[in-house]
Structure 1
Amino acid sequence: MTLFLYHFDFILYYTCNLFFILIYKESLKIMVPPEDIDTQEKKTISFSCKTNRPNATVKWMKAGQEITFSKRIVYRVDKEKHTLTIKDCTLADEGEYTVVAGDDKATNKSDPMASLELPPSVCCTVPPRVELGVNMKSLIVVKAGDNVFLDAEVHGKPLPKVSWKKDGAPLVIAEGMKATQKKHVHLLELYSVTRKETGDYTVLAENLSGSKYATIKVKVDDIEEPRLDIDASYSSNVVVMAGEPFKLEASVTGRPIPSLVWTKEGKELEDTAKIEIKTSDFHTTLISKDSLRRDGGAFTLTASNPGGFAKFTFNVKGRPAPEVKWSREHGESLDKANIDITPSFTTLQIDNVDRFDGGKYLVTVENASGSKTAFVNVRVLDTPGPPQNLIVKEVTRDSVSLVWDAP
């Protein structure tokens, strides 16, 4: 460039060189970006980033909207370090945050802009919570062979990881088990359980905020349904003679030990002088003494326990004892005779017999089916009577021969 100065009658020419100094400002950049943060409600969090120039201006945004600072949300700058602090976090603070770094003269479009978009940077976590239904809070008692379903509702943020334990040890899901989840409900299914499935089942929920568990108690009764073992002879009617005793018996199995009840035509029988009932853990006997015709009927034995019951009916029919009658062939009196009759035999006894007690004795037995008669001939050897027709047949010097008829 040339500078001209005019002063009256002479002209001075000054020539000078101009030096142009160009200072290039480095583009604003974020050198250390913020990191994702997981936190809990009511906690305080801080985002920090570093730029390549001190005391630069950065803009903090959430969901595309610039953040308004307040006593709860504070922004601080310390040279290259920029910090955004959020106090008393709530679920509303969860989301995607963006930090934008640019020149103080943002209107200068030529000034480059640098921005960093972060994935969801704030996640307010909620500690796990495990809720059991009313039917899960008390002891669950089931029978062997049943299916058992254990369930619990699990809540928390992030969604807790759920695992099952049995008696304090991790539960390995094996054959006969199934663990499923439907939204917040976690279900453990146990099929055809046995006594070894008895125990404490713990559902454990864990996330970044901690862990929570709940325990469900299960008891499997090793129950065996009662079973009666009856002799084959009782499959048909039991026929009893009147006056005779009869016995009904059975063996029983089951777990727990079944209770045994005898009934006749719906009425429970008790141990009496006439009916004797003997029962041990696995056997029972009913004895009826001096049976009468009316003692026949249906005798039912019932064995029961929590697993169920078993029944068997014994059908007893009485055979009437026949009527027994003693007599003599010609109707002679039996006043002197002692007659004894039992259900199975009879006797007739005469003391101090004489010859008039001899003869034919008849015994007749009769019932509704008919009659039978048997006889016995009795001969009595008595003191003989006087001889009849005594005759002197021959007389000699030293003997006499006599002849007579037998008495």
Structure 2
Amino acid sequence: MVRVPRDLGVPETGVASFECELSRPNAEVKWFKDGQELRPGPNCRIYSAGRRRILQLSSCELADAGSYTCDAGDCRASATLHVQERQVHIMQELQDVKVQEGDNAVFTCEVSHGDVKGEWFRDGEKIKVSSTVKIRQEGTRHFLLFCGVRPEDEGLIRFTARTVTSEASLQVEALPIRIVKPLRDKTVLARHKATLECTVSHARGRVRWLRGDTEIFAGDKYEICNLDCYRTLIIHRVGPEDEDSYTCDAFDDRSTARLLVEGEWALEGHH
């Protein structure tokens, strides 16, 4: 070889050209990186110009750093490529978002370089794309979209790209729970069970049950069921003493119905 390749330092995404010059114009050469033969590709050009043999790497990545060898069969020469990592900066920080339950929430963060991948986290856990969560990148801007947020979506949102991070909070204002199908007055036979049921606007809706103004709890007498949006009170073995008004209280809304008991109990005193 008349001239051997030189060590190079290039910035990330830069172009690196290794060149060697041979004494014979028609000699074949092979190029290796860390012992692995290189093949031409989108970012790797291998060509000849007279007695010069050139390896050109475009859009250099950090992984391209290493030792490159030009092998002409009877002689070989190596040089080292250093790739300097770019410093990525946050140009626009995330902003806190406060929305009402059911609305959409969008987070936007802008970084200094357009070809940098980012990741999103909520309370330290990586966010995955789903039917209600979208992640998008447009140049230097990164977007996170929550569709139809729920109260449990609340948390600390973090965007990271390389070594930089930006954080903001997602706050969700829960919609008041409404009773969409109220209780209905019930007449039942003594010694049977009475079922009072209403429907609330959201499966997470908490309710309490009242007899008159007094809260009642599940036990031998009362069975309380919460299934999806249905809220049910079952009163076992009803007697005349159970006649009263019963209320399902959803805190922002309530529904009241009367329970009437008829039948055998009226005759019991005559046995």
Larger radius of gyration: 1
Give the TM-score, by structure 2 length: 0.42
Give the TM-score, by structure 1 length: 0.30
Higher strand content, 1 or 2: 1
